[in-house]
Amino acid sequence: MSARKLDTLAVHAGDRKRTGAFVPVTTPIYSSSSFYYPEMETLDRVFGNEIPGQNYTRYNNPTRNALEEQVAALEGGEFALAAASGMAALNLAMSAALLDRRKSVVAGTVLYGASIRLLMEILEPAGVQAHFCDPNDTTAFEAALAEHKPGVVLVESITNPMLRVTPLDSVSEIAHRHGALVVVDSTFATPLLVRPLALGADLVMHSLTKYLGGHGDVLGGVVVTGDQFRPALQAISRVTGGVLGPFDCYLAMRGIKTFPLRMARQCASACRVATWLATHPRIERVHFPGDPRHPDAAVARRLFPQGLYGAMVAFDVKDAGKEQIFRLVDSLQMIVPATSLGDVHTMILYPPMSSHRDIAPKHRQRMGIGDGFLRLSVGIEAPEDIIGDLDQALREA
C-alpha cells in the first residue's frame, strides 16, 4: 500500500486485519487491558517477540497498532509509536535519539513554548546541553553544529508561532555531516505538505490532537521513524508508559481518514484570509508562508506542493497591547478563542498568554512575539465567514 497516494493511504492504511473468521471493515476499539492465549507457550513467545501478538496494552494494542501503521504509511516511515500527547511523543523521540549519543542538542530559535521548556527545564537538568540557532541561516547553523557538536538537532517543519519554513533537506544534510540526528516536529505541516523522513530527517513527530485528529476531541501524539529506532522507542515507551489509549487511537484514526480533504480546504482558506489581513488598516504585519514577501517563500515553494502553504496565519495588530488584544478576541462571534489548532473550526490564540506564556518576555521579543501578536488556525468554514468575523472584531475593538 506504500506506493498509493496520500488520500488513499489515509482511508485504508492500518484497517481490515483478520480476527478469526471475519474481517472488520473499520478497526474496532479493543478496550481490553490484557490478552491471553489458549496455550501459555504462545503467550511466552509473544512476550519474547518471537511471534507477533498482543499481551498487555501498555506494550501493544490492536487499535493503537492500526493507528501507528496508518501514520507510518502517511509519513513513509517503517515504524510509528503513538503516545499520550504531542509533548509525550516529542519527549519519546528526543529520549530515543539521545540514548547512545552526545548529550547535546541544537534547536531552532523559534519553537513551541512547551518544547523550549522540555529542553530547558527537563533535559538540561538531566545533563543535556541545549543551544539555539536559526536553521534558516545556513552559515550560522553550520557554525553552531561545529561548535557544540550536538547529538541531536531539533526543528519544526513550520515553526510555532512565527510560521518560518525550515529547509529540512539542507538541515538534515548539515546535521548528518556533523554526526547529529534530526528530530522534526511536523505538526503544522502534516504529511500533506512535507515528509521530513524523505528529506533526511531521522525521527518525525506529530501532535495527533491537531490536524491529523482534526476535530478537537482527542489528545495524542505519534513518532514515526525507521526500523533502527524501533527497539529504543518500544523500550522507553513500555517502561515510562505514556501510551495512547484505544479510545483515543480510534478517534485519531477516524479523523485521519478525512485529514487530506480538510487540510487542503484549510490551506486554501488560509491563503484568502492572509491576503485579506494584509490589506486591513489595523494589521501591521501578516506571517504566512504563501506570501511572496515571506522570508522563507522560496523554501516553501521548493518543499511544499503547489498552492499548499499550511493553514496557520499569524499577524500583528498595530499599536495593540494585552488590553486591546483581549477586547478584539472577546469581540469575535464565531472564531473560537481556545488553546489548540488544526480543528475543523477556526481558532485564535494569544501566544504571550498561552503557548509562550512561560517564556521570558525578552526571549519572546527576540522570537518576534510582541504584545499585539495573534495566531489564527483556519478551519473548514466558509472563508467569507471567517473574514467577516475578523473584520467586525477589528472594527469593534
217 labelled catalytic: no
Alpha-carbon Rg for the chain, nearest whole angstrom, is: 21
Considering 112, 211, 250, 309, which one is annotated as catalytic? 112
125 CB-near residues (< 8 Å, 6+ apart): none
For 120-255, list the strands marked E by DSSP: 129-133, 152-156, 181-185, 203-207, 221-225
φ, ψ of residue 163 in degrees (nearest 5): 60, 35
Please state, as a whole number, how many other Cβ atoms lie within 10 Å of the Cβ of residue 381.
17
**Burial of residue 22, with CB atoms counted within 10 A of its CB: 0-12 exposed, 13-18 middle, 19 or more buried:** exposed
Strand partners, 317: 283
Q: Which three cell numbers stand for residue 82?
A: 503513538
Q: Max CA-CA distance within the chain?
A: 73
Q: What is the dihedral of CA 140, 142, 143, 148, to 10 degrees?
A: 120
Considering 64, 164, 210, 262, which one is annotated as catalytic? 210
210 labelled catalytic: yes
Considering 30, 64, 164, 185, which one is annotated as catalytic? 185
Count how many residues are written for the chain. Answer: 397
Q: Which helix (H) or strand (E) holds 144?
A: helix 138-148
Dist. CA 58–CA 293, nearest whole Å: 48
**Burial of residue 98, with CB atoms counted within 10 A of its CB: 0-12 exposed, 13-18 middle, 19 or more buried:** buried
Q: Which three cell numbers stand for residue 145?
A: 553544529
Dist. CA 192–CA 139, nearest whole Å: 29
Considering 45, 58, 254, 265, which one is annotated as catalytic? 58
177 labelled catalytic: no
385 labelled catalytic: no
Catalytic residues: 58, 112, 185, 210
